[in-house]
């Protein structure tokens, strides 16, 4: 579910302003060839989008049924679709799509003189675990042949309870799948039914047991808050059972009511049976408190992990690194250009044909919009607990841009929604912050800016909008 990765707590990110001019170093500017580590890192901010991608997202759109909140491009196979590994003939809807997907990969041009092998592969959907392992194998074999895949690559797969058994899980592991994202969403039968999930609590418990019995060493459990009629007690129970299941990673998403979905027809955000914004914020605070208290690091707005179990693939997005995307509705970021494929199957089939005929070119160009790059860097960095590195940002985009950003955040430093840290990552006081708003202080005494947890993260949309305004001359 590629879209969910880029969804903040309560709504989509605000649109970036169109830049007329940005007071920053041009990419073609003259840098000292004997550069410091700091300058090299700053230069990486500007040149990273031009590097060959080392991550790929593969969209496998098949589900047993469409959930009531889902607006992703999916193909509903029916609740009786096979969940076990067997010798039955492949569903032609799946096998035909995999052939089409492989045609797209084959026809995609690799416009780099040299190409580092892939370090992360993410199978999203949809419910990729509905695809027979031998068909997943054909995709991995093609990726290895075209791009190469490192021996220690993180290969993730989204899986839903009730769509796999022990044998199927073992076959996926034999193919190299070494990280699972398990779409539990809730531990209450009534909530699962209310949001149209194809599985029940018994299948959730069975899937968790399979993770443990198969020895899956890196797995994540996904939850959704603010569901219709969800109570604080239900949410606490889901979090408690999640902690007891001991996943290495937990993703917590707030329900987004999208137009065109069943929930979009039935419900209005903020009105019963959906929670109010205040209640949704309390759900978020509860998750932060309970998961952090259980030893999970809140390393990104929607993501928690045990030490060393951050999702490497998602860090491709947070660090604004290039990536490939293949399949229905998927997005790529190559040579500074973002490109999405059609979300409708007929249009996607025509796209692949045009690609094969040389009529599509989405390989990007070398003319990166530096203003957009600055705003992307701020937006994505502030999603993470690491925050924005002011030294690198200043070196890349100039003192005046960083000074404007810091000035705009002064009230939020005082309110505690934004934190500024020194080089040792100690939080500086508001007085220290104000005293360091000068050329000597920014990048030294003031080394990082991040949003506080949980209250700053809850205001991420507003705070990022303010950042966009501050860096527009």
Model pLDDT for residues 263-275, shown as the tens digit of each residue: 999 999 999 999 9
Q: Is 246 left (phi over 0), alpha (psi -120 to 50) or beta?
A: left
Model confidence at 1, in pLDDT bands (50, 70, 90)?
Answer: low
The mean pLDDT value of the chain amounts to: 88
Residue ranges of the domains in the chain? 55-319, 370-379+387-471
Model confidence at 445, in pLDDT bands (50, 70, 90)?
Answer: confident
Model pLDDT for residues 280-316, shown as the tens digit of each residue: 999 999 999 999 999 999 999 999 999 999 999 999 9
Model confidence at 58: pLDDT above 80: yes
Question: Tell me, what's the pLDDT at 21?
Answer: 25
Task: With beta carbons less than 8 A apart as the criterion, state whether 159 and 129 touch.
Answer: yes
Question: Tell me, what's the pLDDT at 220?
Answer: 98
CATH 3.20.20.70 fits 55-319, yes or no: yes
Question: Tell me, what's the pLDDT at 24?
Answer: 27
Model confidence at 36, in pLDDT bands (50, 70, 90)?
Answer: very low
Question: Tell me, what's the pLDDT at 440?
Answer: 84
């Amino acid at each position: 579910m590629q879209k969910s990765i880029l969804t903040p707590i309560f709504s989509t990110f605000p649109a970036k302003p169109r830049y007329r001019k940005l007071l920053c170093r041009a990419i073609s500017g003259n840098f000292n060839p004997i550069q410091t580590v700091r300058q090299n890192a700053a230069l990486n901010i500007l040149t990273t989008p031009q590097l060959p991608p080392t991550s790929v997202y593969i969209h496998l759109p098949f589900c047993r049924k469409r959930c009531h909140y889902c607006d992703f491009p999916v193909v509903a196979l029916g609740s009786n679709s096979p969940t076990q590994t067997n010798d039955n003939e492949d569903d032609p809807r799946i096998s035909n799509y995999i052939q089409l997907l492989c045609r797209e990969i084959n026809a995609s041009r690799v416009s780099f003189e040299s190409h580092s092998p892939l370090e992360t592969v993410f199978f999203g959907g949809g419910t990729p675990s509905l695809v027979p392992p031998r068909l997943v194998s054909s995709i991995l074999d093609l990726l290895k042949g075209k791009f190469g895949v490192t021996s220690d690559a993180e290969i993730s797969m989204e899986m839903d309870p009730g769509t796999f058994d022990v044998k199927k899980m073992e076959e996926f592991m034999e193919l190299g799948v070494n990280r699972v994202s398990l779409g539990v969403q809730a531990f209450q039968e009534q909530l699962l039914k209310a949001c149209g999930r194809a599985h029940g609590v018994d299948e959730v418990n069975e899937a968790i047991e399979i993770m443990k019995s198969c020895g899956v060493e890196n797995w994540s459990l996904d939850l959704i808050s603010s569901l219709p009629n969800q109570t604080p007690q239900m949410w606490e129970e889901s979090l408690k059972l999640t902690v007891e299941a001991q996943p290495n990673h937990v993703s917590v998403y707030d329900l987004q009511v999208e137009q065109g979905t069943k929930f979009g027809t039935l419900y209005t955000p903020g009105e019963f049976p959906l929670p109010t914004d205040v209640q949704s914020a309390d759900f978020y605070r509860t998750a932060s408190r309970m998961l952090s208290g259980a030893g999970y690091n809140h390393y990104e707005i929607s993501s928690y992990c045990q030490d060393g179990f951050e999702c490497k693939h998602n860090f491709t997005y947070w660090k604004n690194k290039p990536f490939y995307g293949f399949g229905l509705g998927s997005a790529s970021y190559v040579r500074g250009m973002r490109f999405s494929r059609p979300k409708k199957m007929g249009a996607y089939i025509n796209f692949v044909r045009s690609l094969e005929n040389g009529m599509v070119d989405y390989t990007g160009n070398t003319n990166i919009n530096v203003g957009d790059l600055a705003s992307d860097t701020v937006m994505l960095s502030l999603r993470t607990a690491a925050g924005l590195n002011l030294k690198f940002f200043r070196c890349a985009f100039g003192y005046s841009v960083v000074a404007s950003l810091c000035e705009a955040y002064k009230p939020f430093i005082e309110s505690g929604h934004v934190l500024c840290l020194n080089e040792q990552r100690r939080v500086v006081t508001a007085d220290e912050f104000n005293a360091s708003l000068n050329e000597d202080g920014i990048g030294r005494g003031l080394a990082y800016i991040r949003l506080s947890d949980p209250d700053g993260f809850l205001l991420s949309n507003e705070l990022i909008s303010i950042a966009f305004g501050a860096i527009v001359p």
